[in-house]
Structure 1
Amino acid sequence: MNTSDFYYDLPQELIAQEPIYPRDTSRLLVLHKETGNIEHKTFRDILNYLNPGDCLVLNNTRVIPARLYGIKEGTQSSIEFLLLTRKSNDIWEVMLRPGKKAKPGSRFIFGGGELVAEVMEIVEGGNRLVKFSYEGVFENILDRLGNMPLPPYIKKELKDKERYQTVYSKHEGSAAAPTAGLHFTDDLLEEIEKKGVKLAYITLHVGLGTFRPVKVTNVEEHKMHSEYYDISRESADMINSSREKGKRIICVGTTSTRTIESAADADGIISEKKGWTDIFIYPGYKFKCTDALITNFHLPESTLMMLVSALAGKDKIMNAYEEAVNLKYRFFSFGDAMLII
């Protein structure tokens, strides 16, 4: 299976540059995975596809303002940091531009000295481990100095930072939003619960590896990035209860899918669990727990295209994407949604 099997042609003008308002008025392509039939709806119509007893799994991670602009101590040359993963309290793995300026021992200044970073070592992929020093609370400083790490294909400035957060975001730690959840409003979630659908919140802190292209020809040779997840006892019980009653587990986003598929045992049972996952889901994978998926439209040749193809079948996905392009759906993070059911 080759990476090129997951390529499709996308006109640049279909890449959404800003979020739609209200959130739940985006378009919704419904793909029936058994038949390949396609319906075209509005996101609020999701209510009509959810049944009492079903369980929606939502990722309540919160994006941190992970992009920092500063200068190199001594030379005053500019540097851009992108915080990827917190290794301990003040030690982070970061991506830098330009990276050549950041040898071990190099120091970088942000906010006129309010925050200082020293490079400890170079790690796999050319990223750096850095140690930050500061006075006060790191999160408060980051909130003042940091910028929202929008994907590189979004060129337009985001005026309201909360539009790159889900309305249920809670636990800070992501370098990118779990974008399938951006379509939900508080009112819509309330209506979903009133219908008898369970809402199980899990946490997976999204890393930028999610957006990196697959560079190998053979899909099976690709190595996934690792991301931290946390599933509470309450959420595990909700998911297991729905499965026991023959109801569906519907993941909101590929991050929720990867989390519960990582945590599930061979029988699809979820337990309270936290840790790191580098699970790679591509066609041929046998899902243990996931029945359906709410997701956005993904980049060509990406691991996310491979995941949705594993759930619905590659040919059905490629056909759905072709139809979405022809009907001018909006693509990627701020784009429209797909329900695979």
Structure 2
Amino acid sequence: MMTSTRFDIPTHLNATEPIEWTKGKRDQVRLMVMKRDNGERYHDQFSNIASYFKKGDLLVFNNSRTIPPVLEGKSPIGEVEIRLSRKLSNHEWEVLIVNPDYHIGLSIHFPGNLKGTIVDYSKNRPLVIMSFNQSGSNLFNAIYQIGKPIRYEYIKKPLPLEAYQTVYGTVPGSVELASAGRAFSWELLTELKRKGIQIAFLSLHAGLSYYEKDRWPSPEEHPEPFNIPKETADLINETKKQGGRVIAVGTTVVRALESAVNKFQTVESMDTVTNLYIYKGFSLKVVDGLLTGLHEPEASHLDMLAAFIKEDFLFAAYEEAIHYNYLWHEFGDMNLILPGGQ
């Protein structure tokens, strides 16, 4: 973990609602571009992002779609809120119990005859394992009917689930928005293809990034399921062979791709769970550049960014972003980190 968190986010820089609600389009957020080798920075609009790529580059997107993971029910200890984090089987999930007083064996009754029972503690504390009385598509249908998106304290009012989706998300499973790709509109994706910039997709279902009460997942023990299709793996390997750059759209994509590197230093198609922790000094094998949001000082995502760029460059850029009133969190502005000298 980083030994120092050298910045504070002023309250007025919390993005509280989707940019398209005020400016009409998703791609109207701002973009800070950083060079990996020297920390050189540019300030632009996200709508101009295609100009920073070149023919032969490959952008890899996470097409996981956000589900509504907040469920409210009743139990012998009173009303209970749970937050789904990770699917373990057709009927079991790792969940966060927001209420403090719970125990193994506690059953919670949700609307629509859905019942969940705490069957064990997860090794990823404070999460627990919950078994539901429905499974498969029936359980997913129940979750969609009664669940709500997670709303952290900086969001002023409840927002519809659609606000927490990318335009290309097709595989339901994330409990929080894989937000790095949120600013892409269909027009921007079409522009990328028109310029000869390649696009590929994988799925990584993001778990909870915050456990309330100033608790965060351990970066060394934060399993998340992912799937890399063969066509995506093949395109990545061919891009690298031809000297193109692989740009990850989001830290979730970095985590999946770097987890799938074999002994030949190529990416394999796989469907599994990753526990990979990427930090300062980590040797990136696949990913050359990263598009990401702006991260809180407590977030382990900053550790990953330190694998791309020196901490001094990174924190100088964040201080500049604060000075220029960039917005933070899932509806905020974006940061593109690219190799220098290209």
TM-score normalised by structure 1 residue count: 0.92
Number of the residue aligned with 1:69? 72
Preserved contact between residue 266 and residue 288 of structure 1 (Cα < 8 Å):
no
The aligned counterpart of 2:28 is 25
Q: Which residue of 2 aligns with 1:268?
A: 265
Deviation for aligned residue 1:180: 0.6
Tell me which amino acid in the other structure corresponds to 1:330.
L
Counting only pairs closer than 5 Å after superposition, residues 1-341 of structure 1 correspond to structure 2 as 3-21=2-20, 22-72=25-75, 74=76, 77-101=78-102, 103-111=103-111, 113-124=112-123, 125-134=125-134, 137-150=138-151, 152-209=152-209, 223-341=220-338
Distance 1:210 1:61, change over 3 A: farther
Question: By percentage of residues, which structure has more helix?
Answer: 1
Q: Is the 8 A contact 1:242 1:249 kept in 2?
A: yes
- CA offset at residue 279 of structure 1? 1.0
Gaps of 5+ in 1: none
Alignment check: 8 A CA contact 1:61 1:172 kept: yes
For residues 335 and 272 of structure 1, the distance between their equivalents in structure 2, rounded to whole angstroms, comes to: 32
Residue 286 of structure 1: SS of its match in structure 2? coil
Give the residue type in structure 1 aligned to 2:295: H
SS of structure 1 residue aligned to 2:16: coil
Residue 273 of structure 2 aligns to which amino acid in structure 1?
A: W
Please, what is the CA RMSD of the aligned residues? 2.0
Aligned counterparts of 2:105 and 2:159: Cα–Cα separation in 1: 36
Deviation at 1:158, TM superposition (A): 4.0
How far apart, in 2, do the equivalents of 1:40 and 1:126 lie? 40
Shift of 1:40: 0.6
Query: Aligned partners of 1:35 and 1:108: how far apart in 2?
Result: 54
Aligned partner of 2:145: which letter?
A: R
Secondary structure in 2 matching 1:93: strand
Deviations 1:103-127 (CA, angstroms, capped at 9, x unpaired)? 222111111x521111211222132
**Number of positions where the alignment pairs a residue of Structure 1 with one of Structure 2:** 331
Q: Could you tell me how far 1:204 is from its partner in structure 2?
A: 0.6
Counterpart contact for 1:62–1:169, Cα < 8 Å: yes
Alpha carbons of structure 1 residues 307 and 153: separation in structure 2 relative to 1, 3 Å: farther
Contact preservation (8 Å) 2:175, 2:206: yes
SS in 1 for 2:89: coil
Q: Summarize deviations over 1:38-79 as a string: whole Å, max 9, x none.
A: 11100011110111111101000111111001110x45x110
Report SS of the residue matched to 2:312: helix
Contact 2:33 2:41 in 1 (8 A): yes
Residues 209, 225 of structure 1: 8 Å contact kept: no
Cα 1:267–1:315 change in 2 (3 A) is: farther
> What is the rounded CA distance, in whole Å, between the counterparts of 1:37 and 1:253 in structure 2?
21
Is the Cα–Cα contact under 8 Å of residues 248 and 291 in structure 1 kept in the other structure?
Answer: yes
State percent identity of aligned pairs: 32
CA distance in 2, matches of 1:148, 1:256: 22
Q: d(CA) in 2 for partners of 1:169 and 1:193?
A: 18
Counterpart contact for 1:53–1:242, Cα < 8 Å: yes
Question: 2:91 touches 2:134 (CA, 8 Å); kept in 1?
Answer: no
TM-score by length of 2: 0.91
User: What are the superposed Cα offsets for residues 145-185 of structure 1, whole Å, 9 maximum, x if unpaired?
Assistant: 000123x2433224332121111111111111111110101
- For the residue of structure 1 that corresponds to 2:182, the secondary structure is helix
Q: CA deviation at 1:327?
A: 0.4
3-state SS of paired residue (2:27): helix
Code of the aligned partner of 1:172 = P
- Deviation string, structure 1 residues 310-339 (Cα, Å, up to 9, x no partner): 101111100000000000000121110011
Cα offset, 1:265, TM superposition: 2.5
| Residues in 2 aligned to 1:128 and 1:305: alpha-carbon distance in whole angstroms | 27
Instruction: Give me the whole-angstrom Cα distance separating, in 2, the residues matched to 1:172 and 1:191.
Output: 26
Q: Deviations over 1:72-113 (max 9, x none)?
A: 0x45x1100111111111111111021422x222111111x5
Q: Secondary structure at the match of 1:191?
A: helix
TM-fit CA distance, 1:300 = 0.2
Query: 1:134 offset after TM fit, Å?
Result: 4.1
Q: What SS does the corresponding residue of 2:313 show, helix, strand or coil?
A: helix
Helix, strand or coil at the partner of 2:97: strand
**CA–CA separation in structure 1 for the residues paired with 2:286 and 2:49:** 21
1:222 deviates by: 5.5
Flag structure 2 segments of 5+ consecutive residues without an equivalent.
none
Segments ≥4 residues shifted beyond 6 Å? 210-216
Alpha-carbon distance in structure 2 between the residues aligned to 1:127 and 1:160: 26
Q: 1:140 to 1:191 in 2, by over 3 A?
A: same
SS across alignment from 1:100? coil
- Partners of 1:332 and 1:211 lie apart in 2 by 16
